[in-house]
Chain A
Amino acid sequence: GQNIDQPTEMTATEGAIVQINCTYQTSGFNGLFWYQQHAGEAPTFLSYNVLDGLEEKGRFSSFLSRSKGYSYLLLKELQMKDSASYLCAHNAGNMLTFGGGTRLMVKP
């Protein structure tokens, strides 16, 4: 997506915490999604933030600041299986537009 920015790649260690940032610019913003995509598979839904603040779901948390056009996905207690691409997407005008994704590599 031209107006969604996230880092291309990140590396972290098993058991650690990693934060993946996403910034966006859009009008008619309705919410911010995070998806996980393992290589060769379809994206799977992780979280959807509509209001500002932090939402926690097990080891994963997602934060949104609408005024700053900023979101992050926080992954705790990293596991090897968390190695995947993480896609940020905004729901604007009820149209779902994705960023390029962040490829996360978890190392032992």
Chain B
Amino acid sequence: DARVTQTPRHKVTEMGQEVTMRCQPILGHNTVFWYRQTMMQGLELLAYFRNRAPLDDSGMPKDRFSAEMPDATLATLKIQPSEPRDSAVYFCASGQPTGVGGYTFGSGTRLTVV
């Protein structure tokens, strides 16, 4: 089965440190989403890319978050500096723009900022 791979699975870091999360989308999928999930907010869209170009990142705090796709096999989400309120599970999902066949989620990165 094709899968979306996210690393690391878990990350504990101290406030103020930089955090980088990585995502390898399914080969051939040209649409990539980054979501954050907390108990209080549910799944929040942070950013999304099509053909590696960022199409919307309005859900992302610009002062500390950045998202990039340096190539078709890698998407990154970076937080610098991290804060305790950033503690959440961060999911990456990939698919085709039409949505046919669904978007496939990675297993997520569980981030804890202490």
Using a CB–CB cutoff of 8 Å, the interface residues on chain A facing chain B are 1, 30-31, 33, 41-45, 48, 50, 87, 91, 94-101
Stretch at the interface among B13-21, B40-48, B68-76, B78-86: B40-48
Residues from chain B with a CB closer than 8 A to the CB of A43 are 43, 91, 105
Q: For the complex, would chain A's binding face be called helix, strand, loop or mixed by DSSP majority?
A: strand
Q: For the complex, would chain B's binding face be called helix, strand, loop or mixed by DSSP majority?
A: strand
| Given pairs A33-B99, A48-B99, 8 additional interface contacts (CB within 8 A) | A31-B98, A45-B101, A45-B102, A48-B100, A50-B100, A94-B98, A96-B45, A101-B43
The verdict on B97 contacting chain A, using a C-beta distance below 8 Å, is yes
Q: How large is the interface on B (under 10, 10 to 19, 20 to 34, 35 or more residues)?
A: 20 to 34
Question: Which residues of chain B from 35 to 71 have any CB-CB distance to chain A below 8 Å in the complex?
Answer: 35, 42-43, 45, 48, 50, 55-56
Tell whether, in the assembled complex, residue B107 and residue A42 are in contact, meaning their CB atoms are under 8 Å apart.
yes
In the assembled complex, 29 residue pairs joining A and B whose CB atoms fall closer than 8 Å, in A order, are: A1-B42, A30-B98, A30-B99, A33-B102, A33-B103, A42-B91, A42-B105, A42-B107, A42-B108, A43-B91, A44-B105, A45-B102, A45-B104, A48-B100, A48-B101, A48-B102, A50-B100, A87-B43, A94-B31, A94-B97, A95-B45, A95-B48, A96-B45, A96-B99, A96-B103, A98-B45, A99-B42, A101-B42, A101-B43
